[in-house]
Structure 1
């Protein structure tokens, strides 16, 4: 069993990734789990995201979906259509509870964050 501190650290690692997902893009629970070093904990990431409104009011939780682009976390929002509405306000098309053009909308934290650090290394070299 994880201690409370371990759970809080895991949640914070998840939030640190989610806050970086840019508007108009989305990522998956599994991609976040992989990025924080726990590739088998995608369901844990889902539970953390479901409870995220209790801790982080400005977290773009609507940008986190399942690995197929399905809005599986929509029950964690105030009303059933809110997640889709927030995504559509950012230019993401959703049909049948799934993000259209998922492969192009998908934001991979492993690639995007590595690219960020590479650019920073070049800049500060």
Structure 2
């Protein structure tokens, strides 16, 4: 069955730049954390578990794609590793405070990434 939303979403991913993909991944982590928090509030343990696992999977993907020849990548790896550990703890205890901490960290990373991308783009376009 044809789903226009899924088709659009797939096309968005396939045509996104690497910078945009990272933003999509950060947005995904934030979205799944919010889903997990709601599920915990609603006492839906299975949904909370699944949402946290999806957030963890995204963080693991972010870790796997780092180019470790750069110092910044090593620093990001350590941050992602910490985030991953906190997600495991949040999942075991269904701890919304740990999820809030992770959401704050990921939101900060997203904001920094956005500023960096915009700065690079403005330099590229001002030279062109």
Query: TM-score if structure 2 supplies the norm length?
Result: 0.35
Q: Which has the higher helix share?
A: 2
Structure whose CA Rg is larger: 2
Q: Which has the higher strand share?
A: 1
Query: TM-score if structure 1 supplies the norm length?
Result: 0.35
